[in-house]
Every structure is written in structure tokens, then in C-alpha cells.
């Protein structure tokens, strides 16, 4: 048993323990952040210096000047990702600015390295102008193997990613959108396998039409779901109202709601097989869950309070429940995807990350759990399963090569 008191956590016996926030603050202060630069080569004498720097370094420079692709052969570019943010949508904290976003970007870089051996550097930009962000990313690209966009508010993040994917020849990925979508897809692949359901016959409801909801809906559609409803705050997106939406929601309206249904979540959820929430806490009720189809699947990912607590979803008849939290089974955690996805793309020397590569990542992740191992509380691998990054990387690498989008 434990309870909170004045920012401290008091446990049995009256012992006062620091909260996770206090422990994290101490860790950051003690280490002055979480990153450092480590050299791959030793410089202990004049000979070492002449090889690592002048005059010897001139030779790889000449080789690269003669053939730009040799930059992958002679530098760290091929295993280096920039984590780029403007600090406008950081965790649940919102627009807190580039400086305050730096601890999160450092943390992302740590995860790249620890989970997949990919080097990453944080880039926090003091601008909210999409054109400036795009231009800056393009100027940095010659020294990078890939770009991970992070915590940039919607809908600008969609515009920025789309433009960079079109204008650069290195992988560009907005994890807040697609990382979540890939883990959701993997979870649904295993859930439907366990339940014996078919995507072509399923009704899926996605609550939240922002960047993550948009990507989730598109990837679920690629799984074969056609009876798909997406909701924004006013209600279900409708094709008949698409002219009143921004470009992102207009695209979703054209892809979903084939019967042009009107209404709120209580209308949308009736007879649904799946609810995916990327919205706000406590918006789905037990009574609503009772109106869903038998053996319903619920992924409630609002943090820290999900759209419905797992115990309430189960009380309403849901069969499988996942959240973004680590204290419940079936955690939807992006760390299951982005390290391995970039590892595979970089190893393949892919020029982009395609929808097919995302779907391959989902299938690769799902395949780690054997059919006989699947159960209600185990449809998504654990974040610390050592097989994850390599499985995702292998699946992504294979598809990239098949698509012919890799450097020679």
C-alpha cells in the first residue's frame, strides 16, 4: 500500500519514498542530462591524431567529394538520427518551448541507442514556422542518416513530415503519429488472431482525429478494415461535411464512414469490434462498452488517464484491453517500434519510410508472440523483450529492399 502526501510517496511502515518525478529530477541534475559524445577511435599520440584529423582526414574528404555516396562508407552518417522538435506538443505538457523539450529529446536519443544501437542527437528549434523547420531540417540532412520528428503540434507536424519525405532522400518519421499506429496495428493483428475475427468483417472506431488518430486509421484501413469510423470533438467525421475540415481530417473523411453516419461516440461505438482512443480520459463508459460486439477489443491510450480504465472496460464485456500505461497488461509503447524501424531503414540504406514498411514493422512485431502463447493479457510483446528491435528491423529492411528504394 502507498499514498501520496506533499509530493512524496508514503509506503507501509511510514517510510517516505521520493516520487518518480523527484527521482527523475535528481537523475537529470546529477548527470547534467542523459547524453554524452563517445569517440570510436583513440587519440593517444601524434600518429593517432594524424589519422583521425589532419593531415590523414583529407583522404576520406577527397573520396566523398568525388562520390557523395561514400559519406556512408567513411562517416557516422549511416547510423545517425536527429530527433527534431519545436517543443509545441511535449508529452501531456503542451507547448512548453524548445528548452523545456530537451529532456524528452535526450530521452528519445537514449532509447534509440539502448534499444537498437542507433546514434541519435537532439535538435530543439526555436521556431514554430513550418517553413523554417522544413528548411532547417533540409540544411542539416547532409550529415544525417535519418530524421525523427518529435512533439510537434498538429496539423503542422503532418505538413512538415509530408514535405520532408517528398524533398529529402533519407528516412523521415514522425513517431507520435506512426509509432503509435504501428504498435496498435500489431496489437490488433494478434488480438484478431486470438479471437478468430477478420478485419474485413470488423467495425473499428478511432476516437481522436489528430496526428496519431489519422495515422492509426490509415494503417488499420491497410489491414483490410472498411467499416471504420473516426471521431473528432464534434462527432463522427463525415464525407458530406469534408469541405468544412482541414486537409488532414478531409483525407480521413474520404477514407472512412462509408455510410456517412452522424452522431457522437455513443452512436459510433454501437456494434463495434474495436475501440482505439487517442483523445481524452474517461470519455468511454462501461455502458457504451456493453453496446459493442462480443469479444470487443479496446485500446485506450490517453495518458495518464485512459479513455476508460481497464477494469471498467472489462466490466462492460470487453475481452482484450490495452493502454499506454506500464501498470496494466498490453502496453501500447512506441519504444517497441521506432528503434527497430530506424535500425532496419538505416541498415538497408533506405531513402524513405513507406506505408508498406510500417505495415511490415507491425507484422514483424506481432510475429514475436506465437499463436499458442497469445492470451487476453499478452497480445503485444514486452518493451524489454530483447528480440523486438531486430525483428522489426529485419521486417522493415526486407520490404525496403523489395520496394527498390535503397541506395546501392
List the catalytic residues. 53, 108
Residue 314 three-state SS: helix
d(CA 134, CA 118): 23
Residue 143 neighbours by CB under 8 Å, 6+ apart: 75, 77, 80
Tell me which DSSP letter residue 208 carries: -
Tell me the CA distances in angstroms from 80 to 34, 76, 195, 325, one per residue in order.
17, 6, 41, 29
Contact by Cβ (8 Å): 275, 320 = no
Query: Strand pairing partners for 232?
Result: 235
d(CA 32, CA 194): 46
Contact by Cβ (8 Å): 236, 257 = yes
Residue 18 neighbours by CB under 8 Å, 6+ apart: 8, 9, 26
Angle at 40 between CA 63 and CA 148, to 5 degrees: 80
Long-range pairs for 207-210: beta carbons < 8 A, 24 or more residues apart:
207/231, 207/265, 207/268, 207/275, 207/276, 207/277, 207/278, 207/279, 207/283, 207/284, 207/307, 208/232, 208/277, 208/278, 208/279, 209/237, 209/248, 209/249, 209/252, 210/154, 210/155, 210/278
The secondary element (H helix, E strand) that includes residue 395 is: helix 388-403
Query: Strand pairing partners for 5?
Result: 8
Amino acid at each position: 500500500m502507498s499514498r501520496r502526501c506533499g509530493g512524496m510517496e508514503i509506503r507501509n511502515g511510514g517510510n517516505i519514498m521520493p516520487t518518480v518525478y523527484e527521482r527523475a529530477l535528481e537523475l537529470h541534475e546529477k548527470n547534467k542530462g542523459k547524453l554524452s559524445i563517445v569517440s570510436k577511435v583513440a587519440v593517444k599520440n601524434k600518429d593517432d591524431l594524424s589519422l583521425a584529423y589532419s593531415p590523414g582526414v583529407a583522404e576520406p574528404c577527397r573520396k566523398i567529394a568525388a562520390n557523395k555516396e561514400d559519406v556512408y562508407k567513411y562517416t557516422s552518417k549511416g547510423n545517425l538520427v536527429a530527433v527534431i522538435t519545436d517543443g509545441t506538443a511535449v508529452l501531456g505538457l503542451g507547448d512548453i518551448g524548445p528548452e523545456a523539450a530537451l529532456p524528452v529529446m535526450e530521452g528519445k536519443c537514449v532509447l534509440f541507442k539502448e534499444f537498437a544501437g542507433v546514434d541519435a542527437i537532439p535538435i530543439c528549434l526555436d521556431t514554430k514556422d513550418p517553413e523554417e523547420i522544413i528548411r532547417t531540417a533540409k540544411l542539416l540532412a547532409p550529415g544525417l542518416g535519418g530524421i525523427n520528428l518529435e512533439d510537434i503540434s498538429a496539423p503542422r507536424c503532418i505538413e512538415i513530415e509530408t514535405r520532408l519525405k517528398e524533398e529529402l532522400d533519407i528516412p523521415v518519421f514522425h513517431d507520435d503519429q506512426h509509432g503509435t499506429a504501428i504498435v496498435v496495428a500489431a496489437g490488433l493483428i494478434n488480438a484478431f488472431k486470438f479471437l478468430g475475427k477478420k478485419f474485413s468483417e470488423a467495425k473499428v472506431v478511432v476516437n481522436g482525429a489528430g496526428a496519431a488518430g489519422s495515422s492509426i486509421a490509415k494503417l488499420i484501413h491497410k489491414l483490410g478494415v472498411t467499416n471504420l469510423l473516426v471521431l473528432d470533438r464534434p462527432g463522427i467525421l463525415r464525407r458530406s461535411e469534408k469541405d468544412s475540415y482541414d486537409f488532414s481530417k478531409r483525407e480521413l473523411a474520404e477514407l472512412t464512414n462509408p455510410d456517412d453516419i452522424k452522431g457522437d461516440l455513443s452512436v459510433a461505438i454501437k456494434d463495434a469490434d474495436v475501440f482505439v482512443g487517442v483523445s481524452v480520459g474517461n470519455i468511454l463508459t462501461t455502458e457504451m462498452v456493453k453496446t459493442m460486439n462480443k469479444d470487443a477489443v479496446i485500446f485506450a491510450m490517453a495518458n495518464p488517464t485512459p479513455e476508460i480504465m481497464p477494469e471498467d472496460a472489462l466490466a462492460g464485456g470487453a475481452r482484450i484491453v490495452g493502454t499506454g500505461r506500464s501498470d496494466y497488461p498490453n502496453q501500447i509503447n512506441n519504444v517497441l517500434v521506432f528503434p527497430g524501424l530506424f535500425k532496419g531503414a538505416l541498415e538497408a540504406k533506405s531513402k524513405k519510410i513507406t506505408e508498406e514498411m510500417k505495415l511490415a514493422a507491425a507484422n514483424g512485431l506481432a510475429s514475436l508472440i506465437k499463436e499458442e502463447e497469445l492470451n487476453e493479457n499478452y497480445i503485444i510483446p514486452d518493451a524489454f523483450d530483447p528480440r523486438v528491435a531486430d525483428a522489426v528491423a529485419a521486417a522493415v529492411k526486407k520490404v525496403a529492399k523489395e520496394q527498390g528504394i535503397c541506395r546501392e
